[in-house]
Structure formats: C-alpha cells, structure tokens
C-alpha cells in the first residue's frame, strides 16, 4: 500500500508554523506496512485542493489530509470534499451532541451556530469520532483511493490516527511487513562511514534498504526490510546487522528502532537509579531540553543552571572570581568547576557542564570561535575535554549537545560495568 500525506494551510507555506503532523502520520503508517510516497503542503484554496486530489486519484491507496476543518471561512476542506465527491453537507447528530457537550458542559457557555457547523459532514463519508475535539475526521473512498480528512490541531490529529485510522486500516487492508533497525554511530561523518561500509552496502539484497540519517556529531544508519514473511525478514535483518557490526564496531554506540541518544541516556540512568543535572553556558539549556523531551525524565534529571552570563557562574554555581580571571570563562578549569557546582547544588550523582565560544564573533573572549569545553562530573572524578566545532554557531551548539551526551554515556558505562 502507498499513501500520500497532505497538509493544508497558508500558515505552513509561509513558515508561520512547522508541520509536525506529517512526520507523526508517516511513522504511524510505516509501522503497519504502508509506504509513504510523498508529503505535500498546499494552500487553503479549493481549486488547488481538487487539482491535488485528481492527481493522486488511483495513484495511491490512501490520501491523508490534515487542516482546514475549523469553523472559520478560511477553512474549506469539508466543502471541497463535497465538491470532489459530488456530495452535500448534512448534520451528524452524534457529532452535534459531542460538540454541544464540550461547549456547554466543559466551557460553560452557550453553543453558537459556528460551533454547531462543526457537526456538518459530507453525507457519504464515514465519520471518524474525535473524542478530544470538535472537528470530526472524515473517511471517503473514490474508485481505488481512500481520502481521509483530519483536523490540523496536533493532539486531535494524533488521537484520530491512533484510535480511528490505524485500527480501521489494519482491519480492512492486507499489508506487507516493514521492519526497521537503526544503528547509532558517533565520531565519524556520513562520507567516511559510507566509504567504510561500501562493499557491505553493495551486497544488500533488494528487500533490504539502507538510509543515512546524519546530524551534527552522529550518523544513524537505518536498515529497512520489506516483505510478506516476517520471520525471514527478521532473520535476514539480524544477519546483516551482525555483519555491519564487524566492520564499524568502533563507532557503534547503540542499536534501536527509534530511540535517540537522549532517550538511551535516560533509560540508563533510570535503570541504575542514578541522577543527573546540567550547567550550561554556550548550549543555553539545549541539553536539558533534549533530555526532558521524553516522558519520565523527572525520575533521574533533577535540574539545570543556564549560567550564560559570568555573574550566574559566580552567584549560582559558586565559581570564584580568581578562577575566572586566571583561566577565563572558556577553559577546562571553569568547565570543571561548573560541573562540580551544579552537582553539589542539585545533589546529583552525575553532572554535565558546557562552556565555549559559539560565535559568530570572538568578542572579548580569549578562546577561538568554535572552542568548547565539556565536563562530566561522576561520583568520583571530573572529566574535561576540549573541542573545536568550527562554525556556524548552530553547528557548534548542536555538536556540543551531542558530544556532551556521548561523553556522559561513555563515562556512565565505565562506572556501572
């Protein structure tokens, strides 16, 4: 099966909001064996929407549309569905009762006509009940293609995908198996990794596909297996992962399906019942943000001090004026003192500290642009390393975040193994 995902909204096209819906839908469909052929963003324009529908008709099995289901005049998706399917809008009594309950029961205000119009749906559609919002989803089939319309509000879209669409697709369609295995590598760039595994990659059979997913400081290698025999796919995937490990074992730091190093660090700390804190200067809190993006982070992560200014390093972390003057803000000594300071302040087993010059100008600092010091405080010692991540500024910050977590993971394993 093949699917196309369409996001509707001028706010996406002008960059006012970021389209996260497509990524969620794509992952959800991939897990049940549906191939995503393309993702499209289009404006709230009836002709543009219909032209896109006509282009996709009978080319893919599923067309999933998000956005344009609101109560205002610029939301045209429902009326466009009616035009495309030669249908008319009718009131769905179940949806109307649900909308009324939300407006009058939860918000405690009289329902308006605009609210009631949320219950208007094409007469030929299968209504997908939206328990967490007022805009229902719509499922309509024309010839060989199913068109599904979902609200653009992320949490409403996610509810409908997980509770309505996926169960319905699984029940009604026979699909191939798609299995993924992701190998996390650190320390070498995409081109160098590619050179090292070129012969291995060329030996992959047609049902296995390799994708490179590079980001600052790391490369994720995702191997995908597609076919009708799940057991044979799993055996083949395992064999090829083992053969890959024999080639680049020195840079492989983990194996998983979707997890990032932030997730892996969190799982390690929770498993060993250890705690962590961070003191961040040049990274401005991005390490803490990446760690706390996963549910359950409070089990091990106790807090962070974003000591961007020198005064914060002195007043909050307790770093002495004499140390700062002798070694400068960007130094191994200050990074070490920051790690020990936040470790003591938060009463944690481990701590990360970062200080550096991310640029774009050198300013009044002695350190060259791109210079970063990362310190890891363990229960028994502090490890400090110096790096130069070059430019631009965003690259320096991102690579510092990744390298900090890599160092922490390495030192953590030394203590628990």
As a whole number, mean pLDDT of residues 348-355 equals: 97
CA pair distance 212, 189, nearest whole angstrom: 10
282, 398: one domain:
yes
Which of 266, 253, 256 is CA-nearest to residue 188? Answer: 253
Compare 147 and 389 and report the one with higher pLDDT: 147
Here the CATH number for the domain that contains residue 120 is 3.40.980.10
pLDDT band, residue 218 (cuts 50/70/90): confident
378, 349: one domain:
yes
Whether pTM > 0.75 for this model: the answer is no
Residue where the block lists tokens 């996610």? 158
pLDDT on residue 14: 84
**pLDDT tens, position by position, 33-77:** 898 999 999 988 889 999 999 999 999 999 999 987 766 666 688
pLDDT on residue 264: 83
Domain boundary among 172, 205, 236: 172
76, 122: one domain:
yes
CA pair distance 409, 94, nearest whole angstrom: 52
pLDDT on residue 263: 86
**pLDDT tens, position by position, 95-134:** 999 999 999 998 899 999 989 999 999 999 999 999 999 9
pLDDT band, residue 362 (cuts 50/70/90): low
pLDDT on residue 124: 94
47, 72: one domain:
yes
pLDDT on residue 251: 84
Q: Please, where are the H alpha helices in 222-331?
A: 230-248, 261-272, 286-291, 310-315, 321-327
pLDDT on residue 15: 84
243, 294: one domain:
no
269 neighbors 276 (Cβ within 8 angstroms): yes
pLDDT on residue 77: 87
215, 276: one domain:
no
CA pair distance 18, 56, nearest whole angstrom: 24
249, 159: one domain:
no
pLDDT on residue 71: 65
Which of 227, 222, 231 is CA-nearest to residue 255? Answer: 222
pLDDT > 70? residue 365: no
pLDDT > 90? residue 180: no
Please report the DSSP string for 304-347 in residue order: EEE--SHHHHHHTT---HHHHHHH-SSSHHHHHHHHHHHHHHHT
**pLDDT tens, position by position, 220-244:** 899 999 898 989 999 999 999 999 9
pLDDT > 80? residue 187: no
Q: How many domains does the chain have?
A: 3
Rounded to 10 deg, the angle between the 46-56 and 77-84 helix axes is 50
Residue where the block lists tokens 């990362």? 374
Here the CATH number for the domain that contains residue 204 is 3.30.70.2860
**pLDDT tens, position by position, 131-173:** 999 999 999 999 999 999 999 999 999 999 999 999 999 999 8
12, 105: one domain:
yes
262 neighbors 256 (Cβ within 8 angstroms): no
36, 147: one domain:
yes
Terminal alpha carbon distance of the chain: 45
Neighbour tally for 305: CB within 10 Å: 23
Residue 323's domain spans which residues? 261-416
């Amino acid at each position: 099966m093949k699917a196309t995902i369409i996001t509707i909204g001028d706010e996406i096209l002008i960059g006012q909001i970021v389209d996260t819906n497509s990524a969620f839908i794509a992952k959800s469909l991939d897990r049940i064996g549906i191939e995503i052929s393309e993702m499209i963003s289009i404006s709230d324009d009836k002709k543009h929407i219909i032209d896109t529908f006509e282009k996709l008709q009978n080319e893919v099995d599923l067309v999933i549309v998000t956005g344009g289901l609101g109560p205002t005049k610029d939301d045209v998706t429902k009326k466009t569905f009616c035009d495309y399917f030669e249908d008319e809008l009718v009131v769905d009594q179940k949806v109307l009762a649900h909308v009324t309950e939300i407006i009058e029961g939860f918000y405690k205000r009289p329902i308006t006509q605009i609210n009631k119009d949320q219950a208007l749906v094409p007469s030929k559609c299968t209504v997908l009940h939206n328990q967490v919002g007022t805009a229902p989803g719509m499922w309509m089939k024309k010839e060989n293609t199913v068109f599904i319309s979902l609200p653009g509000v992320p949490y409403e879209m996610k509810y409908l995908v997980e509770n309505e669409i996926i169960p319905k697709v699984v029940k009604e369609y026979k699909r191939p198996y798609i299995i993924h295995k992701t190998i996390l590598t650190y320390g070498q760039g995409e081109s160098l990794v590619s050179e090292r595994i070129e012969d291995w990659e060329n030996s992959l059979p047609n049902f296995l596909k390799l994708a490179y997913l590079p980001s600052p400081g790391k490369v994720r290698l995702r191997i995908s297996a597609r076919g009708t025999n799940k057991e044979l796919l799993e055996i083949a995937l395992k064999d090829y992962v083992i053969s890959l490990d024999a080639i680049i074992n020195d840079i492989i730091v983990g194996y998983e399906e979707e997890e990032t190093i932030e997730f892996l660090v969190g799982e390690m700390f929770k498993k060993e019942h250890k705690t962590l804190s961070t003191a961040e200067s040049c990274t401005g809190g991005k390490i803490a943000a990446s760690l706390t993006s996963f549910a359950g982070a409070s089990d091990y992560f106790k807090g962070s001090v974003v000591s961007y200014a020198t005064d914060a390093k002195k007043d909050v972390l307790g770093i002495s004026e004499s140390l700062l003057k002798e070694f400068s803000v960007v130094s191994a000594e200050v990074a070490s003192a920051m790690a020990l300071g936040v470790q003591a302040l938060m009463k944690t087993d481990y701590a990360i500290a970062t200080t550096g010059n991310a640029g774009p100008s050198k300013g009044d600092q002695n350190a060259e642009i791109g210079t970063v010091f990362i310190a890891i405080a363990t229960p028994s010692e502090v490890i400090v390393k110096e790096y130069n991540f070059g430019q631009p500024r965003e690259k320096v910050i991102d690579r510092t975040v990744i390298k900090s977590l890599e160092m922490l993971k390495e030192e953590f394993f030394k203590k628990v193994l």
